[in-house]
């Protein structure tokens, strides 16, 4: 029996412009069970990134409701929303966004800085995340010494170091060659197999074909739901 984990109901995100408002999302609604692997597709500007940002607590909807694990994100103040992001969500973006002056280990450690656990436990979590992302052998290297695929695997390690139950990946293979894209995809699939809920927005057919359900967006509206 599956358990409802994410419930998006009539969500609209409007941005004000000089010539009026633009709806990046327009009354989007769907439910995602816990542990599901979902692909999100649509043309550029369809609302994929906006949707992930709202589910991840990086943005707030203009109207509508988003529940994650029974929590209404609208009801959270900024501090509590930041805690939600830190404890519940792991973000993987198209660009790895690693800090150039820090080693891979130090980059992965960053999300744990405000967490009230011992230094030994922090290091243990970092080492587990590096192992899971298959990047532990590059822990002492700077991002500039890594290939694009290695940088993205380091970014995935950083995303999972807080052991989140929800992974949001926005074009995670968009800047990678086929070989490295496959490695990152395999890693995301493994995270799903471990029981995490994983949402992947992508233009890449191989990535989307690997998901078990596909939401299709057009002009901010969900026009297809195949699973």
DSSP-derived secondary structure for 23-85: EEEEEEEEEEETT-EEEEE-STTSSHHHHHHHHTTSS--SEEEEEETTEEGGG--HHHHHHHH
Separation of first and last alpha carbons in the chain: 16
Phi, psi (deg, nearest 5) at residue 220: 80, 5
**Sheet containing 197-201, strands listed edge to edge, beginning at the edge strand earlier in sequence:** 89-92, 166-170, 197-201, 37-41, 213-218, 221-226
CB atoms within 10 A of CB 190: 14
CB atoms within 10 A of CB 27: 14
CB atoms within 10 A of CB 36: 19
Please report the domains of the chain, with CATH numbers, ordered by start residue. Answer: 4-226 (3.40.50.300)
pTM of the model: 0.92
Nearest Cα to 88, choosing from 103, 62, 66, 63? 66
Distance CA 110, CA 93 (A): 16
pLDDT at residue 77 in the model: 96
Q: Which residue has the tokens 């699973």?
A: 227
pLDDT at residue 2 in the model: 58
CB atoms within 10 A of CB 203: 14
For residue 52, the cross-strand partners are: none
**Checking DSSP bridges between strand 89-92 and strand 166-170, what pairing results, if any?**
parallel
pLDDT means over runs of 10, the chain (227 residues): 85 86 92 96 94 97 96 96 94 94 98 93 96 95 95 95 95 88 91 95 92 95 89
pLDDT at residue 22 in the model: 85
**Sheet containing 63-68, strands listed edge to edge, beginning at the edge strand earlier in sequence:** 20-33, 4-17, 63-68, 71-72
Helix%, strand%, coil% for the chain, nearest 5:
35, 30, 35
Residues 6 or more apart in contact with residue 105 via CB below 8 angstroms: 126, 130, 139, 140
CB-based contact 32:40 (threshold 8 Å): no
pLDDT at residue 70 in the model: 95
For residue 97, the cross-strand partners are: none
């Amino acid at each position: 029996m599956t358990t409802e984990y994410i419930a998006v109901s009539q969500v609209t995100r409007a941005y004000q412009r000089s010539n009026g408002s633009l709806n990046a999302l327009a009354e989007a609604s769907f439910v995602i069970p816990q542990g599901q692997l979902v692909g999100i597709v649509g043309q550029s500007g369809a609302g994929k990134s906006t949707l992930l940002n709202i589910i991840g607590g990086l943005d707030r909807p203009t109207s509508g409701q988003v529940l994650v694990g029974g929590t209404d994100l609208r009801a959270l103040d900024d501090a509590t929303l930041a805690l939600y992001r830190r404890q519940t969500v792991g973000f993987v973006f198209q660009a790895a966004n690693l800090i150039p002056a820090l080693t891979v280990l130090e980059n992965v450690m960053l999300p744990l800085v405000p967490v009230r656990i011992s230094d030994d436990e922090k290091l243990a979590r970092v080492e587990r995340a590096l192992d899971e992302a298959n990047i532990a052998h590059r822990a002492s290297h700077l991002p500039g010494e890594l290939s694009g695929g290695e940088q993205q695997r380091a970014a995935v390690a950083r995303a999972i170091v807080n052991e989140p139950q929800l992974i949001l990946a926005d074009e995670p293979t968009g800047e990678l060659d086929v070989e490295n894209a496959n490695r990152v995809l395999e890693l995301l699939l493994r995270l799903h197999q471990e029981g995490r809920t994983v949402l992947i927005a992508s233009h890449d057919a191989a990535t989307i074909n690997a998901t078990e359900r596909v939401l299709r967006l057009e002009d901010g509206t969900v026009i297809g739901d195949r699973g």
